[in-house]
Amino acid sequence: MPLLKRLKEYIDSQYRLPTGAIGSYIGEKMVRQHQPETIWTLELLDFKKEEKILELGCGAGYAIKRILEIDSVKNIIGLDLSETVLKSARMRNRHEVNNGRARLVQGNVKQLPFENQQFTRVFSIQSIYFWDDIDETLSEIYRVLKNEGKMVLTLSNGKAGIMWNGINEMVENEVIPHMKKIGYKNIETVMGPDSRQYHTIAIIGEK
């Protein structure tokens, strides 16, 4: 296998599951790359009062840090498969982790280690591509959401004016139909800001 191809596959694997020093670097790189859609996603979540929040694929904890600046947020849990980026997230939010307002958990999105109806808001930014089982994960999110809770999934569906048919077909033919089947209400897809020329959308649903 050519060296450049092996290198690309290695870097791609680090985006899926960051490990070691390279993984820490990738985690911080994603913080910088995803700031526009992160800020936009937090606006969509429309925090009210006494919010209990879960972020899936929390990475190095930038969104968590921004959310903890909001007084109406009671607590937040960030879940990620990578212990490497969770270490960065703990460092970035160490004060709120120490006082119990934030918690970081290693786990898989298709089997959430939480009781039913725990969260008022569940969100994920640029991680749906790495989910092993989208249908199962959507069902798990519904399970842990409180009644009238809200889910926001942010992702990119194109770049520089070119739409990614595979991603759009996944949204229209898999994600939204399964959300309807489970029982999500007020389902909508909204367009967000371009980020590094990537086109951003969010899938929103309520329980």
pLDDT 10s digits, 102-130: 999 999 999 999 999 999 999 999 999 99
What Rg do the C-alpha atoms of the chain give, in angstroms? 17
Using a 10 angstrom Cβ sphere, with 0-12 exposed, 13-18 middle and 19 or more buried, the burial of residue 194 is middle
pLDDT for 21:
59
Please report the pLDDT score of residue 10 as a whole number: 42
CATH code for the domain of 10? 3.40.50.150
Q: Which domain holds residue 118?
A: 3-206
End-to-end CA distance of the chain: 48
pTM of the shown model? 0.88
Distance CA 61, CA 91 (A): 9
| Domain count along the chain | 1
Q: Which residues of the chain have pLDDT under 50?
A: 3-4, 7-8, 10-11
Which region, left, alpha or beta, applies to residue 163 given φ > 0 means left and ψ of -120 to 50 means alpha? beta
